């Protein structure tokens, strides 16, 4: 028996609704851009609505948003030791943006912007180039001292410096791939489960189709964890750039 598995991958396809070019820039309206903007609007609307009537004793919505903010603020200050406070707005924005993009993909029929390597890659390269800029501004040519860890015997330096340099360059790649692979894998697994579930005889369908519910719960958790991991690793990279070597 062969199953039609094409539906499990085809929903990652970028569909261009309107071709738009601004000089060399391609600003076509595709499902990626539409759902990214939708996620941004949803995030802004939720945060605004929860803070419509702020009270000293918060209601449920305000409490939820405050908990989220407090959580990110604490993690940022815990991971960027020197100027953690200045980075809270950036980290909260990144967190809510990625979370919105992850969660909007879980709505049936919607597209997941973070399942595109272009989206996650842009985010990762943005963070990475910012970290490099901070490092160069802070340390000047001392930038390159970061590649020779302290206390290493000089004889090991020809070995250590390339390793450090490669692991430094691998940072944006892993940061982008992690988010992309998690989102893609989750939705593919969901699709495969659904196809398998619909192919089973009727008396056994409850088992695989019930399992898709569990998978969606796992996906919700992964959406949170991946946004959190992205923020934590961004904090670590920026902290690394700020630190003295």
**Residue 95 beta carbon to another protein: minimum distance, rounded to whole angstroms:** 14
Among 88, 90, 161, 229, binds another protein (CB under 8 A): 229
**Residue 184 beta carbon to another protein: minimum distance, rounded to whole angstroms:** 7
| CA torsion angle 90 95 101 106 (round to 10) | -170
* Start-to-end CA span in the chain (Å): 61
Q: Please say which residue, 135 or 172, places its beta carbon nearer to another protein.
A: 172
The strand pairing partners of 104, in sequence order, are none
232 binds another protein (CB under 8 A): yes
184 binds another protein (CB under 8 A): yes
Other beta carbons within 10 angstroms of residue 78's beta carbon come to: 12
Among 16, 49, 185, 198, binds another protein (CB under 8 A): 185
216 binds another protein (CB under 8 A): no
Cβ pair 209, 146 in contact under 8 A: no
**Residue 195 beta carbon to another protein: minimum distance, rounded to whole angstroms:** 17
Q: Please say which residue, 135 or 191, places its beta carbon nearer to another protein.
A: 191
User: Judged by CB under 8 A, how many residues of this single chain contact another protein?
Assistant: 15
Q: With b meaning 16 or more CB within 10 Å and e meaning fewer, what string describes 105-135?
A: bbeeebbbbbbbeebbbebbeebbeebeebb
Site string for another protein, 125-154 (x = CB under 8 A): ------------------------------
**Residue 22 beta carbon to another protein: minimum distance, rounded to whole angstroms:** 30
Residues 123 and 130: their CA atoms lie apart, in Å, by 11
Q: Please say which residue, 47 or 195, places its beta carbon nearer to another protein.
A: 195
**Residue 219 beta carbon to another protein: minimum distance, rounded to whole angstroms:** 12
| Residue found by looking up tokens 């920026």 in the block | 238
Residues 146 and 169: their CA atoms lie apart, in Å, by 13
Applying the rule CB under 8 A, the residues between 163 and 182 that interact with another protein are 174, 177-178, 180-182
DSSP letters for 21-81: EETTEE--EEHHHHHHHHHHHHHHHHHHHHTSS--SS--HHHHHHHHHHHHHHHHHHHHST
Q: Binding residues for another protein, per CB under 8 A?
A: 174, 177-178, 180-182, 184-185, 188, 222, 225-226, 228-229, 232
């Amino acid at each position: 028996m062969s199953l039609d598995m094409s539906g499990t991958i085809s929903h990652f396809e970028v569909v261009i609704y309107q071709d738009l070019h601004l000089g060399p820039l391609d600003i076509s309206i595709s499902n990626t851009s539409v759902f990214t903007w939708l996620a941004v609007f949803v995030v802004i609307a939720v945060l605004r609505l929860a803070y419509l009537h702020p009270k000293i004793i918060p209601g449920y919505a305000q409490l939820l948003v405050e908990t989220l903010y407090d959580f990110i603020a604490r993690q940022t200050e815990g991971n960027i030791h020197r100027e953690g406070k200045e980075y809270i707005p950036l980290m909260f924005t990144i967190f809510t943006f990625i979370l919105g993009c992850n969660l909007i993909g879980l709505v049936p029929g919607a597209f997941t912007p973070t399942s595109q390597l272009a989206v996650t890659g842009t985010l990762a390269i943005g963070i990475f180039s910012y970290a490099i800029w901070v490092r160069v501004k802070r340390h000047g040519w001392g930038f390159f001292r970061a590649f020779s860890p302290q206390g290493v015997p000089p004889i090991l330096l020809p070995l250590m410096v390339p390793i450090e340099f490669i692991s430094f360059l691998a940072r944006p790649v892993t940061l982008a791939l992690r988010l992309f692979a998690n989102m893609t894998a989750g939705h593919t697994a969901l699709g495969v489960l659904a196809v398998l579930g619909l192919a089973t005889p009727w008396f056994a369908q409850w088992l695989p189709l019930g399992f898709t519910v569990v998978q969606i719960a796992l996906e919700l958790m992964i959406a949170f964890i991946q946004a959190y991991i992205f923020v934590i690793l961004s904090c670590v990279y920026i902290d690394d750039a700020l630190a003295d070597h």
